[in-house]
């Protein structure tokens, strides 16, 4: 049975990833920050672990809990949007917090678990087209855009550093999705966006490593 580790799986896209991978017969290791928020993902069939990806001590505990388990896919999904990001009103601490959760934490998760990903396995991160420099035509959203652009660079470097181990590393763009982050006006539902991203991951191989894929399978310009 293949195994996936998913961060931030108590709600939104992470919960839907857990549901779809469990339904496909995978062993799903799901992380939540608040143990009381884990019921839905547990009901979906996942094994629930507590981790705040911005807190290295909880990642160390998670590493100890998952010792010896081969992880076919490590999916960095946890993310935050941030507040006060308009030009002239950017909050420094808020900016750094978004960078920490969205860009640094996926690198630390990869550093912690890469040795448990077998050749042919995947490390992926849910990024955003808002992190694409090429697709930025409207400005603003400084912290979120910068964090996802930094995440994209982390993904690219990981793809090169882990190539010798034959681990593929990719960034994913879910589209605009109805979650707490995406809001109710988004055109996509979590099942639609996650089905698309899962189909991308089902096909990813080493020749795709270092690429950025939209949920519909098209490639996103960095
Ligand atoms: N929705 C969209 O339209 C959209 C578009 C592009 C990209 N994305 C990306 O997709 C990913 C999932 O977003 P979503 O829409 O599902 O958002 P969401 O509904 O707000 O869920 C975010 C998830 O991340 C978790 N999380 C936040 N900070 C964390 C931390 N420090 N440690 C561990 N978990 C943490 C949250 O846990 P708590 O419940 O404990 O807060 C929650 O499970 C994010 O990376 C986001 O940037 C979303």
pLDDT (tens, 9 = 90+) of the chain, 222 residues, equals: 999 999 999 999 999 999 999 999 999 999 999 999 999 999 999 999 999 999 999 999 999 999 999 999 999 999 999 998 899 999 999 999 999 999 999 999 999 999 999 999 999 999 999 999 999 999 999 999 999 999 999 999 999 999 999 999 999 999 999 999 999 999 999 999 999 999 999 999 999 999 999 999 999 999
| pLDDT score recorded for residue 29 | 99
| pLDDT score recorded for residue 55 | 97
Q: How many CA atoms lie within 13 A of 211 on its CB side?
A: 17
In a domain, 179, yes or no: yes
Q: CA of 149: how far to CAs of 89, 132, 143, in Å?
A: 20, 6, 10
SS3 call for 31? strand
> For residue 12, which atom of ligand 1 is closest to its CA?
16
| pLDDT score recorded for residue 165 | 97
CATH code of the domain in which 142 resides: 3.40.50.720
In a domain, 183, yes or no: yes
**Residue of 13, 40, 82 to mutate, ligand 1, most atoms within 8 A of C-beta:** 13
| pLDDT score recorded for residue 105 | 98
Distance separating alpha carbons of residues 148 and 152, to the nearest angstrom: 6
For ligand 1, say whether the CB of 186 is within 6 Å of any of its atoms.
yes
Q: How many domains does the chain have?
A: 1
> For residue 11, which atom of ligand 1 is closest to its CA?
43
| pLDDT score recorded for residue 205 | 95
In a domain, 49, yes or no: yes
Distance separating alpha carbons of residues 30 and 133, to the nearest angstrom: 31
Q: Is 157 exposed, middle or buried (0-12, 13-18, 19+ CB in 10 A)?
A: middle
In a domain, 222, yes or no: no
Domain of 106, in residue numbers:
3-214
In a domain, 221, yes or no: no
Distance 135 CA to ligand 1 centre (A): 22
In a domain, 219, yes or no: no
Tokens of 165: 């181990």
**Helices then strands, each counted (H, E), the chain:** 7, 7
In a domain, 138, yes or no: yes
In a domain, 63, yes or no: yes
């Amino acid at each position: 049975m293949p195994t996936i580790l998913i961060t931030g799986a108590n709600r939104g896209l992470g919960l839907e990833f857990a549901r779809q991978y469990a339904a496909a017969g995978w062993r799903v290791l799901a992380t939540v920050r608040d143990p009381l928020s884990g019921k839905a993902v547990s009901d979906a069939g996942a094994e629930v672990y507590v981790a705040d990806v911005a807190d290295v001590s909880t990642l160390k505990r998670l590493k100890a809990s998952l010792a010896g388990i081969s992880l076919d896919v490590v999916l960095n999904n946890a993310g935050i949007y941030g507040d006060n990001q308009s030009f002239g009103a950017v909050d420094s601490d808020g900016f750094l917090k978004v960078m920490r959760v969205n860009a640094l934490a996926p690198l630390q998760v990869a550093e912690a678990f890469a040795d448990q990903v077998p050749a042919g396995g995947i490390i992926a991160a849910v990024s955003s087209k808002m992190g694409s420099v090429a697709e930025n035509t409207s400005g603003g959203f400084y912290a979120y855009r910068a964090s996802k652009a930094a995440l994209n660079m982390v993904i690219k470097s990981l793809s090169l550093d882990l190539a010798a181990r034959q681990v593929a590393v990719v960034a994913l763009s879910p589209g605009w999705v109805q979650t707490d982050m995406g809001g109710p006006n988004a055109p996509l539902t979590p099942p639609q966006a996650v089905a698309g991203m899962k189909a991308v991951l089902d096909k990813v191989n080493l020749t795709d490593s270092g690429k950025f894929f939209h949920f519909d399978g098209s490639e996103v310009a960095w």
